[in-house]
Amino acid sequence: MSNPIIESGNVAAAMAVQLARAEVIAAYPITPQTPVTEKLSELIAAGKMDAEYVAVESEHSAMAVCIGAASAGVRAFTATSSNGLLYMSEQLHWAAGARLPIVMCVVNRAIGAPWSVWNDHQDAISQRDTGWIQIFAKDHQEIVDMTLKAFRLAELVHIPVMVNYDGYYLSHTYMPFEPPDAEHVDAFLPAYTYKHALTPERPESLNTVTLPDARLDVDGIKRGGYMDIRHNLHEEMGKSIEVWEEIDQEFQALFGRGGHPVIDPYRCDDADVVIVAMGSMANQFRVVVDRLRQNDGLKVGILALQMYRPFPSAIIAEALQSARHVMVYEKGLSYGNQGALYGDIKSALYPYPARPRLHNFIAGLGGRAIPTESLYQTMKTACEQDLQTPSAQADAPQWIGLQL
């Protein structure tokens, strides 16, 4: 077991990429992700990491470099934030459709306009339908561990993985964490190989125009069309949840950490009211939960969602079955509708006869502070009102901390 160190979340991510022996790093600066790529350039320049460092001219090209490298069978990494993620959106769909096991850290930040460099989750949420696996870390230790596990997952299921963590709250704060030791990482994460890797010895044309219907190949074997390939992506994304759980067990056996790879419940067992949140806000809620239980006698728990895509509907529905109320707090939304996570949870619960009542809260957009005190107060008010006077299901999200 290595000794804990105190470093920023961005450095934690870079250390994980170093330990994972990523071989091609595509780098383009954007706040608040920039220190990840700076740190990686430093590690490579200092001879502490052996990788190709490509300083590209845009995020679109950053993902293109990763696509090229991964298609040739080499482990690739990049990191971005906010509009950078959106600029590479086309490439995200491409990487997933091509089934390339690229890992990318997304340091979550609000999207312009207007410009904001501060944190929310709208960047990642807006890319939820790209076919990428999306996981959310809530502290520095999870940034390191999840990034390493992400490489393993990506290469086992051949689907790219986006490791999300909150801009500034996690990226720029300094917290203690244990970096896994390199020897165990090598045992955990074997070298990447790809059956369709570009090579003159076995020439194939990748991502060719694909017809709506199945077609015979040169050997007379029927090959599915576009829809069949996309269906396979969907099916195998769903099956990735199970693989993610298995990876977590392997990781736990080697490093002694883990156990809650998909959802991380805190004091949910007997809870009447369960809060659901992603990222650092979920950790912030632990204090709120403790206070509500201690001061107000409210049976409240917090369920941190670690894996957002594929959406673990069955796992979430089961976890929320015994709650009477579910409060979904999120830092992003589907404009003109409701919180994206809220909609997903509602849909996950729909098939079950005993459905808790759901409440949606939008918080922290563009870095608007989310004081723990205000979380406590909104929760307390909501619990007291709703628990005593049940009202009709109200879908409209409540915005926390508006200053209009």
> What is the binding site for another protein (CB under 8 A)?
23-24, 26, 52, 54-58, 60-74, 76, 90-91, 94, 97-99, 155-158, 190, 193, 195-196, 198-200, 202-211, 215-219, 223-226, 228-229, 232-233, 236, 239, 243
Radius of gyration of the chain from Cα atoms?
21
59 Cβ neighbours under 8 A, 6+ residues apart: 28, 30, 78, 80, 84, 85, 87, 88
Cβ proximity to another protein, 99 vs 128, nearer residue:
99
The residue written with tokens 């999840």 in the block is 146
**23 or 264: whose CB is closer to another protein?**
23
Whole-number minimum distance, CB 133 to another protein, in Å? 13
Q: Tokens at residue 381, please?
A: 């008010």
Is the CB of residue 334 less than 8 Å from the CB of residue 366? Answer: no
Exposure string over 255-270, b if 16+ CB within 10 A, otherwise e? bebbeebbbbbbbbee
Residues 150, 224 contacting (CB under 8 angstroms): no
CB nearer to another protein: pick between 244 and 376: 244
CA torsion sign for 378, 383, 386, 392 is: positive
Q: What end-to-end distance do the CA atoms of the chain give, in Å?
A: 51
CB of 24 to another protein, least distance (A): 5
Alpha carbon distance 302, 293 (integer Å): 12
Euclidean distance between CA atoms 120 and 298, whole angstroms:
29
- C-beta of 53: minimal distance to another protein in Å? 9
**Distance between CA atoms of residues 78 and 63, nearest Å:** 7
Least distance to another protein from the beta carbon of 194, Å?
Answer: 9
The least CB distance from residue 87 to another protein, in Å, is 10
CB 286, CB 302: distance < 8 Å? yes
Question: Cβ 141 to another protein, closest distance in Å?
Answer: 26
The CB-of-292 to another protein minimum distance in angstroms stands at 42
Which CB sits closer to another protein, 47 or 353? 47
With both helix axes pointing from N to C terminus, report the angle between 340-349 and 313-320 in degrees, rounded to the nearest 10.
Answer: 80
Rounded CA separation 340/333 (Å): 5
CA distance 125 to 330: 10
- Give the nearer residue to another protein in terms of CB position, either 114 or 203: 203
Gap between the Cα atoms of 303 and 270, Å rounded: 13
Give min distance, CB of 237 to another protein, in A. Answer: 10
Closer of 34 and 61 to another protein (Cβ): 61
- Whichever of 70 and 298 has its CB closer to another protein, that residue is 70
Least distance from another protein to the Cβ atom of residue 377, Å: 47
CA distances from 112 to 123, 181, 225, 331 (A): 10, 39, 38, 15
Closer to another protein at the Cβ: 55 or 394? Answer: 55
In this complex, which beta carbon is closest to another protein, that of residue 74 or of residue 370? 74
